[in-house]
Amino acid sequence: MSEVKSHEFDNFLQKSAADYRLFLVYGPDRGLVSERAAQLAGCFGIPLDDPFAVVKLDATELQQSAGRLLDEVNAIGLFGGEKLVWIKGASAEKGLSEALQVLAAAPPSGSYLVIEAGDLKKGAALRKTAEPSRTVASIACYSDDARALNALVDRELSEAGLRISPAARERLLEALGGDRIASRNEVRKLALYCRGRDIISEEDVLAVVGDASAISVDDAVDAVLQGNVDALMHAMKKITTSKTPVFLVLQSCLRQFQQLDVMRSEMDANRQSASQVIASLGRGLHFRRKPIVEAALRHWTAPAIRRELNRLQTTIYQSRSRQSLEESLVLQNLLAIAIQSAKR
């Protein structure tokens, strides 16, 4: 068993990461997941800008071809040397967990595999595969506690040559903690604002630091389901300002509509009410979100849900092939779905 607790990661990275070839990084703090996956990728000695040595894939690309991951991991690089396969946006993909199970039984000798996943429950297939295995490092990423936030603030301000007053620190910590990348960006923004000064005051914090303590992709997804365009725009502005990748919203929305598709099919097949289906198939939903999903089930028909699933899958393809327009494409299509929700 090779589970790495959230607070053990720095020590693991320095002393033990080199002993593994397979890594699962997961948790509710998507920014921290992304940051730690990047730290792992950077410790292998593989040039991350080399397209022949680094293969980056979205988990949705593996749904139609579960064997592709095995092919990529076992393929020999064009110019030899070691190779990194980096999977993003993983959740409950069956093919991915099956491929990981195969690799865990016989780890590759010339490749590394890093899988970035969201908030996986204890019984999720990927965790059930990774956690009992001695060949897979399973790394949990939970929201920063006060100690981790203080360390983050000290590190960033020290690099900028700045000190912070106790009152300003207290005010700053209140605004941080929901997402590691968002928190780091807020501290860096503050350091840039106070550049050239000796000490940061409480007034400085109030002037420039936004609320990064509760940035959640779920807010955007819920706004889409409710047809609340204003709430969607507010959530997307908050997400983009914090430098949180917009593809996370797209992935979460896709997973939500996939879940709606399964639930709606159950409703139609067994003539159950939305509340009955939520009780049986929605156990993993946060209690706050259950009424929103239940209302969406009542208003969306199965054909309409599948139409929007096609729209989301097309958007994923378009955003990958035209990355310079990713943010615009994501926002445009989420708005279109939100408008359809509002009409229903």
The first and second tokens of residue 195, run together, are 């550049």
248 lies in the same domain as 304: yes
Establish if 295 belongs to a structural domain.
yes
265 lies in the same domain as 171: no
Establish if 25 belongs to a structural domain.
yes
24 lies in the same domain as 108: yes
- What residue type is assigned to position 75 of the chain? A
The total number of structural domains in the chain stands at: 3
What's the domain range around 254?
216-342
DSSP 25-48: EE-S-HHHHHHHHHHHHHTS---T
Using alpha carbons, select from 162, 183, 163, 182 the residue that is nearest to residue 173. 183
Q: Which residues of the chain have pLDDT under 70?
A: 1, 64-66, 77-80, 178, 210-216, 242-243, 286
Residue 78 has what pLDDT?
Answer: 64
Establish if 170 belongs to a structural domain.
yes
199 lies in the same domain as 221: no
266 lies in the same domain as 305: yes
Establish if 266 belongs to a structural domain.
yes
CATH code where residue 25 lies: 3.40.50.300
Establish if 3 belongs to a structural domain.
no
Q: Answer with the one of 140, 162, 195 that is the final residue of a domain.
A: 140
- Token pair 């993909």: residue: 93
CATH code where residue 174 lies: 1.10.8.60
C-alpha separations of 212 from 71, 177, 216 in Å? 40, 7, 9
Rounded Cα gap, residues 256 and 300, in angstroms: 13
288 lies in the same domain as 305: yes
- What residue type is assigned to position 52 of the chain? F
Establish if 296 belongs to a structural domain.
yes
Residue 242 has what pLDDT?
Answer: 66
238 lies in the same domain as 188: no
12 lies in the same domain as 58: yes
Establish if 94 belongs to a structural domain.
yes
Establish if 315 belongs to a structural domain.
yes
27 lies in the same domain as 78: yes
82 lies in the same domain as 155: no
CATH code where residue 277 lies: 1.20.272.10
Residue 28 main-chain phi, psi, to 5 deg? -75, -25
121 lies in the same domain as 90: yes
pTM for the whole thing? 0.58
Residue 223 has what pLDDT?
Answer: 92
- Alpha-carbon 231 to chain mean position: 21
228 lies in the same domain as 327: yes
- For residue 150, what are the contacts with CB-CB under 8 A and spacing of at least 6? 169, 173
Q: Answer with the one of 140, 171, 192 that is the final residue of a domain.
A: 140
